[in-house]
Amino acid sequence: MIDRRRFLILAASAAIAASGPGGFARADEASSFINRTAMDLVAIVNSGVPLAEKQKRLRAVVDAAVDVDEVARFCLGRFWRTASAEQQKTYVNLFHDVLVNDLTGKLGEYQGVKVTIGASRKHDDVTIVSSIVERPNNPPAKVEWVVGPTPNGPRIIDLVAEGTSLRLTQRSDYAAFVMRNNQSVEALLDALKQHLSQAGG
């Protein structure tokens, strides 16, 4: 459950928030934004710097690019309301650590990655930017970046790869896990902690 879709996590983290506060005025501005920042990510992944330095730089990308708190709340779904304040805080911190750990732990698999930005469109209050993500020895993947406005500027709030939403899929996984464990949010927290421990995070 917790190991799934690391590739989508990597792609989502590419959209580092480099523009100012507020939403995008036009869809083509979002395309330029994603194109510029995807190039930044590709440069980090394909660079020859030591792994520790790559991890440091990619952690900064995740922190700046993704609305981690909002995505974490969305993924917990209705169980967010039943969790205590302390559980909510612990969960968000663990979600962030798992996101970063899974990303940096798979760097070697993404050498040679290439992102080609396509068309973009507005949908309600978000902008959806299409792209093709290519890795050596893998078929090209169609990826849509969902960018929403936040008080701190634009942030990635979802990623859709080949028609599959990352956050909807993760929410389904988490809900199934919690239901299998007597609707215990604490059980999910323990599973996240165990995942980090096994991964050396």
The pLDDT tens digits of the residues spanning 135-178 come to 888 899 899 988 887 787 778 888 898 889 989 999 999 999 99
Residues 135, 43: Cα–Cα separation, whole Å: 14
Higher pLDDT, 103 or 195: 195
Pick the closest to residue 76 from 199, 164, 156, 192 (CA basis).
192
Q: What's the number of domains the chain is made of?
A: 1
The pLDDT tens digits of the residues spanning 28-47 come to 666 776 777 777 778 888 88
What pLDDT is recorded for position 102? Answer: 78
| CA-angle at 53, arms to 51 and 54, nearest 5° | 65
Residue 175, domain extent: 6-199
The verdict on residue 68 lying in a domain is yes
The verdict on residue 159 lying in a domain is yes
* pTM, rounded to two decimals: 0.78
The verdict on residue 1 lying in a domain is no
The verdict on residue 34 lying in a domain is yes
Which CATH number is 40's domain given? 3.10.450.710
> Going by C-beta distance under 8 Å and a sequence separation of 6 or more, which residues neighbour residue 177?
1, 187, 188, 191
The pLDDT tens digits of the residues spanning 44-96 come to 888 888 888 887 888 888 787 788 899 999 999 999 999 999 999 999 999 98
Pick the closest to residue 166 from 23, 34, 13, 44 (CA basis).
13
The verdict on residue 84 lying in a domain is yes
